[in-house]
Structure formats: C-alpha cells, structure tokens
Structure 1
C-alpha cells in the first residue's frame, strides 16, 4: 500500500500584482542610460549662486560617475553585446583613436588622456545603444525630449524660487544645478525644435506641444543666447520644408509664421535689435564678443607637421585661458586636421543620409538636429568631445537608418 504524497502547487501572484513585461524593463533601462549620458555632459563647476550648496567634489563625482553608470546599464540591457554596423559610428571610432594618439603627445598628458578615455567610453555606450535606433516609437528622441524638459524644469524652478539669483548677470542660468546661460539656451532651443517637428509630424499631442513651447520659449529668451535662437530657426525651417508636402498643418504653420514675421518686422524691430545686441556696441558684435581675437591666435600659432595633423591633444577647449567657442577651431587645436576631417565626415554623412531618407518624421527630425548642430558649431564646441552636441548628432544619425528584415519579424 502506497502512501499518498501531497503535491504542493506553486503559489500564484498576489492579488493586484502585475508583472512588468521584459520589454518595458529594457525600455526603461535604455531611457535611464540616455539620461545618464545627458547628466554626464552637464559638466559641474562650483558656483556660489546654487540654491543647494553642492560641494565641488560631490558634483563632479555625480557628473563624471554617471558615465560609468550608463556603461554598466547598457551592458545589462544589451546582452549579449550586439551593435549595428554604422558608417557614422565607424567615423566616431576613428575620431576616438585619433584623439588618443594626439593626447599621448599632449603637454598636460594626464588631463588629455582622461578626456580621451571619457570620449572612448561615451562613444562605446552610444554604439551599444544602436540596436534601439530604428524603433518605430522613436524611443531615443522621446527620451531626449523628456530629459530636456526635466533640465529646463530645474532652470525654471530656480527662476521662480530666486529670480534675482538666476538672473544675476541679466541672463538666465541654472541655480539648482550649475547650467550657464549658453547651455540653458541650447537645451531650451533644442526642446522647442524637437517639440515643433514632432507636433508638425502628427506624433505629439497638441496640448503637450503647447505646454512645452509656453515653458521653453521664455527660458530661451531670458538666456539671451543668439546662437541657440539662430540655430533653432534654421533647423526648424529646414525640417518644416521637408514636411511641407507631407502634412497640411505644416503649410498652415508656414503661412501663419510668414504673417507673424511680417508684422513683427514692422512693429518689433527695435525690440529684436536690442535683444540681439545684448547691451554690446557694434564693434563688440562684429568681433563676436572677443572670439575673433582667440581664433586668430590659434591660426597664427606655430605647429609642427605632427601637430598640424593630430593637434595638441584633447583640452578643455580654451586657449591661453580664453574659451575657443568654435567647434572647428577647437577641433583643429585639439586633434588637428585629421580630427576636423572626421567631424566633417560625420556631419556630411548624417546630412546626406537624411536627405535620402523617405519623407516623414524621422527625416525631419534628423534634418533639424544636424542643421542645428552645424549652425551652432561656428560659435560652440562639442562635436569632437563628449558633449550634448555629439549626443544630438548621434541622435540624428540614429534616425537615418531603416529597419532590417530581422527587426521587422
């Protein structure tokens, strides 16, 4: 006679418990990786105006450590490691190799090699995000826009809490996290442009787009950042023209825009001129706020053949203690002619690939991003280092690739 054995059945999920799908967890980790990359390019510097007295060592640890967090997160979600074959990322890898070679001969070896290592890890993380480039839901674009909204929200919150501190130099800056006016203007202009293109493409709801514009436009204007405004207008115009025959709302926006521009030119020309002058006289504006003197000094500096080809190694984009404020001269100074050629090739690849991309949201977004980066590159640096501009140029590159048959199955 056998003794009956009680079989214990596994306990079911508790009432109200809903397991999170694997795909949703992966998507959240990808979004967190992108947020960590954005935090890494929000370089921390000590500022007495901060509402929260963050020690300099702690702030730098948070900003620089976020890149390591991003690397660990992307390895956890991209298992086994797989990357997309990409001409753009190959050019970025060549830029990294060239930066390492030039930094090995830099005067300040330790700093240059650290920046090269950071650039290497930054590009590696971006490449490991390539499997998510062709998602139909535009995951990376939506994530970037949400991160921008969060950053702009902190700037606006600082303005509401302490307007005198945030506008200490008559230009809006971040006082919760140290964000200079130029960066604040860049982030707000980028958010406005992405919002406008997504709404014109029919991807973003009207109330979301309206809220974004209502918040971001005043932030941009209060920063008095001319480069961001001009780059925004150029990028939005090119993106809108690419959608002109795609959606009727784009044609309506152009008609309204022409009317507003005509009326504004007649009635608000003095206000616009005052805003653009930013309290400077004609000679200061012509000298690009002292930039031309720095640029002339860089071009006149004696160089050997090696330094002409490879540059002096990655630096903090300054020359004799003054900011270079030009991506192309900063690239030439750091990584020489070869580095500038790689940067130009990266921009041209994205621009040409976007031109031949089928008409739609992806093409318009890519054209806006690359046009913005090109216009801003004349008075801003970043395409040859780990920066928000390299992040956004890579975002543009991600939009020009089409889905493979394996991804559609």
Structure 2
C-alpha cells in the first residue's frame, strides 16, 4: 500500500531505521545502563535491516540518478584508500562498509525521491519519536536527564543522546514543521504539538549551534517565499518584531543562556575546540595523508573530539574529501537557487542552510550521520521539477494526530 504519489509506506520504516543507525552509541549515562556493544548491535542491525527492506521494496534496482548520491558514492573512494592502510585500525574499514551500506540504501530509496515532501514527513515523525524518548526520560528521572556532568543540559536518559544531538533534532523538525504550516500542509494545532515541545527541549539543551541554525535556516527559507506567499511575509514580519522585543526585554537572560556560565575566554575559543583545530592543522602529514586522510575514525584527534565537519573530513578523507563535500553544498545550493519559489524549495534551503551552519561546530558530513540524512531530504525535495504555483488556500479546520497531520496534502 503506498501513498497517493506512489511512495510505499514501508519507505517510512526504512527511513526510521536509517535514523536509528545514526543515533550513535556514545552519550550520557542512561537510567538503565545499556552496554555499548548492545547499542552498536542495534544501530548496525538497523542499517542492515534498512538496506534489506529497501532492496525488497526495489528488487529491480530502479534508481533516480542525481549529483548528491553520485558525490556521496565518490566519497567512498578517499575513505577506502585512506582506510586500507589501517592507520585508524580495523574500525576504519568497518566504517567504510557502513558508509557503503548507508549510501546503497539511499540509492534504493531514490526511486521515490520525486515525492520529496513525503520524506519530509518521515523525517519529522521519526525525530519527533526520538524526542519523545528524551521527554520520557526527563519525566521519569530529571536528575539523569540533566546531569551535572553536562552542566545541567538535557541529555538522553533512555537512549544515550548528547545535548547537541537533541538540539539538532529539535531544531530541524521545528524548522520543517514551521514551513509546512506556512505552506498549509498542516494545521496550527497539529504544528503546535510538534513545535512547542521541540522548542522546550531545544532550550533545555542550551545548544547554541542548533539554535542559530534554526533561526538562520528559517530566515533563508522564508526569505525564498516572500515574493509568492503572503503567509510567509506575515510570519517574517511578526518574527522580526518578536525578535526585537525579546532582544530588548530579555537581553540579560538571553546572554546568560547563550554563554552557559562560561567565561569570555572559554567562549572565544569555542569551548576548547579551537585548540584541537590548531593542533590538527599543525600535525605533520604525508602527501597521501593530505590528499586522502588517515581513514574513517571516530571524528577525534589526540583523544579529543574535532567538532568541525570540514576538519574532520580533512583528517579522515583529506583534501579530496573536502572537495567532494563542498561540491555537495555547491550542487544542492545551486539547484535550490535556480528553482522557482515553492514549499519544497524552501524546505530544501532550510536543510542546506542548517547543515552548513552546523558544520562549523559539529562533525558528520563525511560519514553516515543525521547531517547526510538532512541533505538527502533536501536532495529529494529538489529532485522533481518544481513550478512557482501559489500556495493552496487553507482547508476547513480538522483535528489530527501529530503524525497524521503531516500527511495532509494540498487540495
């Protein structure tokens, strides 16, 4: 049974399994201790299941070729070249196999990417379910969900999720739901069910990157709709007014939230990230290492997280990897700019903008990660030719469950 546009409903399950695979196995201590080996078994098992199910859905291997998946496949080349030397251990080859399986699953799903908004709804539903587990952990054990080890920031108490992860998921589904609301693909009550708790969880994580990515990404996306959507113009105007009022009335509170109790010196060097970046760039490298990196690893250098996608790619896949990742942004951004204004284009611009901003303080663009899934949704949204058509008039108000509300189509 498929959606009205022919996308199998089981494709949503495949997408959910891909999201489960990218949740990771490292994070805060959970209420019920989960062995890391068990978590890795679940995450890797979900990827194998996703590929198997996608192959069952697309047994004739019908794919829709595109620059994004082609570049992602090419990224395997420097990954394998650098990993076969085993400088990063046998785990590097394991990560290469994971990236290959991840990319292969996306290729199998590309057959239905002309129905990009369906994958937007899958994206929102699945990450909303993840945030539901975070909220449940907070309700069951507030102490475990906001431990002193993380400075009182919200973490996953049922599944080991870090504050930046939770902030990322909350920001992305908030932005996409706002855009669906502006495009009248869902009603206000249903959108509020997603947006309000997501914003609360985002605030509790004190994640600056996700917050900036949400606001800047939405500004870019809504800006692309200003000429064709009165709703977008109204929203943009009210958002600017509210931002100005909040900046004046709550300046001190906003500054305290943004600094998170850090000193100006600690804030200026990005919580110690700059020291790791400087050390990584100063480390001696051979010509081969500069070109292809040292192999896929855990996105760390000297035992410390790199927390920058570009430097992580440079370390693991070299200048070749950086060129390929940069080409992904150039291609997706260029296609988005050339498309006429539409809701699909706006959602794609939001996701591209968010990933570009987050890449400065978060790693993940060179390996199977939520960021590649965000960009895959953007690629799906840009796959089908789009036309500049007026946004539909609002339908009669109806009550929906959060998940089903996102299924509403334009008349």
Q: TM-score, normalization: structure 2?
A: 0.90
Structure 2 residue 46 is the aligned partner of structure 1 residue 66: yes
> Among 86, 104, 114, which residue is 1:134 paired with?
114
Q: Which residue in 1 is equivalent to 2:376?
A: 394
Q: Which residue in 2 is equivalent to 1:164?
A: 143
CA contact (8 A) 1:154 1:176 kept: yes
* Distance in 2 separating the partners of 1:210 and 1:134: 28
* Distance in 1 separating the partners of 2:36 and 2:293: 30
Structure 2 residue 219 is the aligned partner of structure 1 residue 237: yes
Q: Please show how residues 239-318 of structure 1 align to structure 2 within 5 Å.
A: 239-318=221-300
Q: Which residue in 2 is equivalent to 1:120?
A: 100
Question: Following TM superposition, by how much is the alpha carbon of 1:366 offset from its aligned partner in structure 2, in angstroms?
Answer: 0.5
Q: CA RMSD in A?
A: 1.7
Determine helix, strand or coil for the equivalent of 1:202.
coil
Q: Which residue in 2 is equivalent to 1:204?
A: 186
CA contact (8 A) 1:45 1:60 kept: no
Question: Following TM superposition, by how much is the alpha carbon of 1:22 offset from its aligned partner in structure 2, in angstroms?
Answer: 9.7
> Among 132, 139, 146, which residue is 1:153 paired with?
132
CA contact (8 A) 1:167 1:173 kept: yes
* Distance in 2 separating the partners of 1:96 and 1:321: 25
Residues 122-147 of structure 1: CA deviation (Å, up to 9, x unaligned): 011111110111117x2111001000
* Distance in 1 separating the partners of 2:307 and 2:379: 24
- Cα distance change on mapping 1:268 and 1:320 into 2, 3 Å: same
Structure 2 residue 304 is the aligned partner of structure 1 residue 325: no
Q: Which residue in 1 is equivalent to 2:21?
A: 40
Determine helix, strand or coil for the equivalent of 2:91.
helix
* Distance in 2 separating the partners of 1:26 and 1:76: 14
User: What is the aligned residue count?
Assistant: 383
Structure with the bigger RCO (C-alpha within 8 Å, sep 6+) is 2
Q: Show structure 1 runs of 4+ deviating over 3 A.
A: 20-26
Structure 2 residue 218 is the aligned partner of structure 1 residue 218: no
Determine helix, strand or coil for the equivalent of 2:9.
helix
* Distance in 2 separating the partners of 1:175 and 1:209: 26
Determine helix, strand or coil for the equivalent of 1:175.
coil
Determine helix, strand or coil for the equivalent of 1:179.
coil
Q: Which residue in 2 is equivalent to 1:28?
A: 9
- Cα distance change on mapping 1:21 and 1:343 into 2, 3 Å: closer
Question: Following TM superposition, by how much is the alpha carbon of 1:21 offset from its aligned partner in structure 2, in angstroms?
Answer: 6.8
CA contact (8 A) 1:132 1:139 kept: no
Determine helix, strand or coil for the equivalent of 1:129.
helix
CA contact (8 A) 1:239 1:368 kept: yes
Q: Which residue in 1 is equivalent to 2:407?
A: none
Residues 293-351 of structure 1: CA deviation (Å, up to 9, x unaligned): 00001110111111110011111000010000000000000000000000000111000
- Cα distance change on mapping 1:21 and 1:95 into 2, 3 Å: closer
- Which deviates more, 362-371 or 105-114? 105-114
CA contact (8 A) 1:201 1:243 kept: no
Residues 367-406 of structure 1: CA deviation (Å, up to 9, x unaligned): 00000000000000111000000111111111111259xx
* Distance in 1 separating the partners of 2:276 and 2:251: 32
- Cα distance change on mapping 1:324 and 1:46 into 2, 3 Å: closer
Structure 1, gaps ≥5 residues long = 1-19, 405-409
Question: Following TM superposition, by how much is the alpha carbon of 1:26 offset from its aligned partner in structure 2, in angstroms?
Answer: 6.3
Residues 186-241 of structure 1: CA deviation (Å, up to 9, x unaligned): 00011111111111122122111111111101100000000000111110000000
Q: Which residue in 2 is equivalent to 1:89?
A: 69
